[in-house]
Amino acid sequence: MIAQIGSGVRPALDAARRGEREWVMAHRKIDLDALSPEEQLELLDRLWERLGRSPDLFPLTEPQRREIDARSEELDRALVAGEPGGIPWDEVLRRISSGDSRTV
């Protein structure tokens, strides 16, 4: 897979490590298959961070907003009632390992 990013594999990642911005969408290609898993994760992390700086580019849909509001209200009610918020980690693991289809 070839991505249209940077000035080559290693120089692009080196520039990113230094915090330079030019590497992001330059005119040269990066062969993603040539990157080590660690380099791929680093690139992914940097892209994710960059996208996170502009949440207005990814507005929530109305159903997503309602779901967030409902979960927030549920958590607030639980905390006011002195109940722990969320699901205990051991319960999450039990549901995953048992194939429980309920939302984790």
Domain that residue 47 falls in: 2-55
Residues, the chain: 104
At residue 19, the pLDDT reads 58
Q: How many other C-beta atoms are found inside a 10 Å radius of the C-beta of residue 25? A: 10
Which DSSP state fits 68?
Answer: H
The pLDDT of residue 10 is above 60 = no
Report CA-CA distances (Å) from 104 to 24, 60, 91, 97, 99: 35, 21, 9, 11, 11
**Contact, 51 vs 21, CB < 8 A?**
no
Do 83 and 47 share a domain, yes or no? no
Do 47 and 66 share a domain, yes or no? no
Domains in the chain: how many in total? 2
> Tell me: the pLDDT tens digits for 40-95?
999 999 989 998 898 888 899 999 999 999 999 998 998 999 987 778 899 999 99
Do 6 and 47 share a domain, yes or no? yes
> Tell me: the pLDDT tens digits for 88-100?
899 999 999 998 7
Do 69 and 87 share a domain, yes or no? yes
